[in-house]
Amino acid sequence: MKETDERKRALLICGFGTGDAEVMEQTYGRLLEEARKAYPRMPVKLALTSPKVIERLYAKSAVRLPDVQSAVIEILDDTASGGIEEIRILAVQVVGGSEYEKLKEAADTYGRRAGISLDSPLLAGPKIGRVADILVSETVSCKEEAVVYVGHGTHGRDPLGPAAYRKLEEMIRDRGNGNIFIADLQTGIGSIAGTLSKNAFRRVRLCSLMMVSGHHWLVDVAGDKNDSLKSVLIEGGYEVTCDRTCLLERKEVRNLLIEPE
């Protein structure tokens, strides 16, 4: 695209976020910085979809980030930009759900003022095969160890969500890896344990398939309560380790998100 055209485009990075300012900087902050380097002539902004997270982040760290609609309006009204004609909304989401619906609503509402394109969630669009490649290439495993990537799930808010997780695991199998499994908290811990029991694994490594490994990871996956995934697997006789590294801490994933669809 010509330089003059690029100046009339803007990139808006949108995700649920986290109330922890340090984690926010390590995840969304890195994504924002790298996006600005990738598109130096284009306005690049960050917005959060969760009002609760916005308020928590401000209360704890005095960091104030806009919601999606406010950020879109700011871009459209920014006369210093020379007049924005196109806005790309980069959805920092693994699968769809209620937070993604907020992005659709913003695109529909303000699309009359500027051409707005909305990226698909990571596993719901054309980039899912690249995600499979990243997980296979970055996961070092042995025959006795199962590596389980655990996502949030959508809890019924996205009927296509469970199918996306299954598709990702199928793509990993197609790449010849039988030790990597894809799970989500919506499907249920019992289902994950049942899948592993059919194989001869002695050890299980739990890894994050979440944009940010926050409360659900710390409590429901790697927590010490009796019904956490880690505790259930230990009770089942497995040796369990947990890797909290989230998707946004993986440079390859950040690069993939920044790339246009």
Indicate the domain borders of the chain.
3-119, 128-249
- Closest C-alpha to 120, from 150, 138, 97: 97
Q: Evaluate the CA torsion angle 221, 226, 232, 236 in order and state its sign.
A: positive
In whole angstroms, how far apart are CA 156 and each of 12, 118, 161, 186, 219?
Answer: 27, 22, 8, 8, 21
Which of 157, 160, 163, 138 minimizes the C-alpha distance to 149? 138
Among candidate residues 210, 237, 235, 211, the one with its CA nearest the CA of residue 224: 235
Residue 155 confidence class, pLDDT cut points 50, 70, 90 = low
pLDDT in tens, 91-120: 999 999 889 999 999 999 988 888 899 999
Angle at 214 between CA 73 and CA 102, to 5 degrees: 30
Instruction: Indicate the average pLDDT of the chain.
Output: 90
The whole-number pLDDT of residue 2 equals 41
Q: Is the pLDDT of residue 3 over 70?
A: no
Please report the pLDDT score of residue 261 as a whole number: 86
**CATH domain 128-249 topology:** Rossmann fold (3.40.50)
* Bridge partners of residue 10, in order along the sequence: 87
Fold equal for 3-119 and 128-249: yes
Alpha carbon of residue 174 to chain centroid? 23
Does residue 33 carry a pLDDT above 90?
Answer: yes
What's the pTM value of the predicted model, to 2 decimals?
0.92
pLDDT at residue 8, rounded to an integer: 86
Residue range 3-119 in CATH 3.30.565.10: no
Residue 113's nearest CA partner among 79, 78, 76 is: 76
